[in-house]
Amino acid sequence: MNPFARLGANTIERLARFGYGARGAVYGVVGILALLAAIGSGGQAGDSRNALRTVLGGPFGAILVGLIAIGLLGFALWRLVEGATDADRRGTSPKGLAVRGAHLISAAIYGGLALSAASLSLGLGLGGGDGTRDWTAWLLAKPFGRWLVALIGLGVAGGGVGFLLKAARGDVTERLALDRGKLRWAKPLGRFGYGARGVAFLIIGAFFVVAAWYQRSSEAKGLAEAFALLRAQPFGWVLLGIVAAGHAAFGAFGLIQARYRRIDAPDIDKADDAVARAVRAAT
């Protein structure tokens, strides 16, 4: 094998592992803050950007947020490579193509979060306004925009169903290189985390469907509002506490993925070609 090709593959693998760790750190903070809010011990049930602000306010905050930004960018690049090159060998079945498409969407989301983290680390802030509602309003103003927003909502909710099924089937550790003993504690952690993310995705997807139904961008909401909806229910602090703890578990599971996930990364030249083809196809 060409040693330079192996070096390129190793670079992608390192970026992917750093990315899983950064994503895990962000959702770990999200879950812990929401759990503290649920039990009335301070904290704020917010989204990933709230978590970044919290990290920034701690010791070495700017450095840590900067490292998270680099990690999230690495994760976005890995998701792009996954979707474009089929690095995980999902295939071209409808399910495989759906997963690869979701990875491409994930690449865009985490790329945006990486930019927000970098901006925050450099003291530039996270930008004004509500990005979700802004682009929802932009879409609603377009022909067929209402249907596009509804499709986005259904897609998000579908992702939630996928997470819940993954948690129920227990195949969250299928790509982890762990022995049987470690799997006994890693699997329940991952199932709990994916289950909590599934609940959050279902609620967020419903928000977008409601926004499309009423044609009001103000109805398009994110994770912070999903937490708030849970808290407003009877015994809401219990519901919020469970879902918050699940997000913390999802964050911890991300750290496990950073260390033990099997990553069959292509060399950089092949990845570049595949990504370029994907971009051309999209445009």
Choice among 7-16, 70-79, 215-224 with the minimum mean pLDDT: 7-16
Q: Report d(CA 65, CA 41) in Å as an integer.
A: 24
Model confidence at 7, pLDDT cuts 50, 70, 90, reads very low
Distance separating alpha carbons of residues 166 and 247, to the nearest angstrom: 15
Alpha carbons 162 and 76: distance in angstroms, whole number: 20
> How confident is the model over 37-59, as pLDDT tens digits?
999 887 788 899 999 999 999 99
What share of the chain in percent tops pLDDT 70? 89
Least confident of 37-51, 61-75, 119-133, 158-172: 119-133
Question: What integer pLDDT is reported at residue 133 of this predicted model?
Answer: 83
CA angle, 255 as apex, 11 and 257 as ends, to 5°?
A: 65
Q: Looking at this protein, which amino acid is placed at residue 93?
A: S
* Tokens found for residue 48: 């990933």
pTM of the predicted structure, to 2 decimals: 0.87
d(CA 198, CA 210): 18
Q: Which amino acid is at 63?
A: I
Tokens of 152: 């986005």
Name residue, tokens 């249907």. Answer: 147
* Model confidence at 159: pLDDT above 50: yes
Say yes or no to pLDDT of 282 above 60: no
- Three-state SS at 176: strand
Summarize the confidence of residues 73-96 as an average pLDDT.
Answer: 89
- pLDDT, tens digit, for every residue of 186-231? 999 999 999 999 999 999 999 999 999 999 999 999 999 999 999 9
Q: Which of 199, 187, 192, 198 lies closest to 239 in space, CA to CA?
A: 199
Domain positions in the chain are: 3-282
Contacts 24+ apart (CB under 8 A), 168-176: 168/195, 172/253, 175/88, 175/261, 175/262, 176/256, 176/257, 176/260, 176/261, 176/262
* pLDDT confidence band for 21 (50 / 70 / 90): very high
Would the pLDDT of 150 be above 90? yes
Mean pLDDT across the chain? 88
Q: Find out whether 148 and 139 touch, Cβ atoms under 8 Å.
A: yes
CB 20 within 8 A of CB 248: no
Provide the pLDDT confidence category of residue 4 given band limits of 50, 70 and 90: very low
